Amino acid sequence: MTVLKGMAKIVLYDARKTSPTKGVINEFFVGDHNHILIHIPKLIWHGFKCMSEQETMIVNIVTKCYNYAEPDEYRKPAHGSDIPYNWSRKDG
């Protein structure tokens, strides 16, 4: 995943029960001022938020084509789920 235009905050959370990084949160600020490519391992929860005043263009390259009949897409609410991350703005 990367950002082609603008700036975004991309957050990863490892909830895999047997992972040595279980419970770890990674936060990346990606885009015009920090061009990086993020590899997101299988079963890692991830989300993103636009951080720039203008629109953000994000590219996510998947390993398998999306199957509309049997989607492998899982979602959790951004606020109030079991992922210990606060998407609210942090001033400072």
- How far is it, in rounded angstroms, from Cα 79 to Cα 88? 9
The encoded tokens of residue 43 equal: 């079963």
pLDDT tens digits for 57-89?
999 998 889 899 998 888 999 998 999 999 987
Domains of the chain and CATH, by start: 2-59 (2.60.120.10)
Kindly report the length of the chain: 92
Q: Give residue 53's pLDDT band: very low, low, confident or very high (50, 70, 90).
A: very high
19 pLDDT band, cuts 50/70/90, is very high
Query: Which residues have CB under 8 Å from 13's CB, separation 6+?
Result: 24, 25, 26, 44, 45, 46, 83, 84, 85
Please tell me the distance from the alpha carbon of residue 86 to that of residue 90, in angstroms, as a whole number. 9
Pick the more confident residue, 91 or 22: 22
